[in-house]
Chains A and B, each alone.
Chain A
Amino acid sequence: MSVPLTLLGLLEREPSHGYDLKRDYDAFFGRGKPLPFGQVYSTLSRLARDGKVVISDVAPGSGPDRKRYIITDLGATEVEQWLTQPVDPEPHLQTVLFAKVVLALMLDRPADEYLDTQRSAHLRRMRELTEIKRGGSLVDALLADHGLYHLEADLRWIEMTGARLDALRKAVRP
């Protein structure tokens, strides 16, 4: 799961304080494993250094909580690319796919199109593995099968999520 891209995605909704970002990250993506404040701020300062966010001091005083973070065009482009490109179809990507779908819905992007793109990337990889399986030794076939069953599990999740996008949209956009 990419913390920088997820925080950038959250920032694309509206400029936010670090603690707002942490709260939303923990609520939607933390999976019971809260993001430490230190990581939130170090990630944000790296994003600022790279020109993907800018910092505006909105309240007098000092300390990290006074700062608001605003996404730049560069940052927004990166989020856009991340959401549009399918993830490399390897097993165990549920959390990345999940983050992309939730963010896409939060940002009112076409989550169903991302899922379709991901589905065809998965199927393409499954065709390659099937080819390996048909042409190879038993060991090749067993290894390919391992990949195929995991990709199939992802695909089922993609189907189920696709069928529930409307409900999920309501849940993540109060």
Chain B
Amino acid sequence: MSVVIEARDAEFAFGRTPALRGASIAVDAGEILAIMGPSGSGKSTLLHCLAGILVPDSGEILFDGVRVDTMSEPERSSLRRDRFGFVFQFGQLVPELTAAENVALPLLLSGVRRTQALRRAYAWFERLGLDGMEQRRSGELSGGQAQRVALARGLVAEPQVLFADEPTGALDSLTGEQVMDLLVSAAREQGTTVILVTHEARIAAYADREVMVRDGRVNAPDRIAS
């Protein structure tokens, strides 16, 4: 397995609040990794640094062997647009757009023509059990439906890495697991690497591996006895 994304000794502080204190992690291509840990331990900050949203104060971030932390903001922005997908706790759909337009958004932003972008977006609705919801606006969707639309938007451009921060955090357990099930199947099908932040063990159990973040550092379970 080859490493696709990596943090080496990343440190990050919000003003005087340290959030990462030397976090290191390497994620293999195609791997589904769960990042767990207590509230405030630095999970989201680590995710944002890996995704090139935040730049660590020191340490390195590498994507496909290339330093991300030394890129310019426009370079990181196009990396995020072209290679990465995102799903957050609250779908963050654009309320003015239809569900289908929301899904098509990443394609439209990277210059795919509108008819083709919408055609690719539509294909996701059946796949995620959302047939008939294409023209609805986010206010007309249940939490679970909105989250599946957000998942489709995260995956529609076939990103190399999908970053998901508590994607099921706002859903009840059954709906949350349905979303996870779809996420894992879709990611496996297109070979997408998934980095998933969750504090729920039952959600983390959908991943291939888990790491714990504590006080801004990553503890991988290395001493596994069986």
Chain A residues in the interface with B (C-beta under 8 A): 84-86, 113, 116-117, 119-124, 126-127, 129-130, 134, 148-149, 151-152, 155, 159, 163
Contact = CB atoms under 8 A, between A and B. Distances in A.
A126 B205 contact: yes
Q: How large is the interface on B (under 10, 10 to 19, 20 to 34, 35 or more residues)?
A: 10 to 19
B224 A152 contact: no
Interface in B184-226: 184, 201-202, 204-208, 210, 212, 219, 221, 223-226
A129 B38 CA distance: 24
A126 B204 CA distance: 9
A129 B221 contact: no
A85 B225 contact: yes
Nearest to A129: B205
A120 B201 contact: no
B57 interface: no
**Chain B interface secondary structure, helix, strand, loop or mixed?**
loop
Contact of A163 (B38, B184, B207): B38
Main secondary structure of the interface of A (DSSP, over half): helix
Contacts of B225: 84-86, 117, 121
Contacts, number: 50
A165 B95 CA distance: 47
A130 B38 contact: no
B205 A130 contact: yes
B73 interface: no
Nearest to B37: A159
Interface string B6-39: 0000000000000000000000000000000010
Contacts of A124: 224, 226
B75 interface: no
A127 B205 contact: yes
Nearest to B219: A116
Given A130-B206, A134-B181, A163-B38, A123 B201 contact: yes
A149 B174 CA distance: 12
Given A129-B205, A152-B202, 15 more contacts: A85-B225, A116-B219, A120-B210, A120-B224, A121-B224, A123-B204, A124-B224, A126-B201, A126-B202, A126-B204, A126-B205, A127-B205, A148-B202, A148-B205, A155-B201
Interface centre among A85, A124, A130, A148 (most CB of B within 10 A): A130
Given A127-B207, A130-B206, A163-B38, A117 B201 contact: no
Given A127-B205, A130-B205, A119 B181 contact: no
Contacts of B210: 120, 123
A13 to B, nearest CB: 25
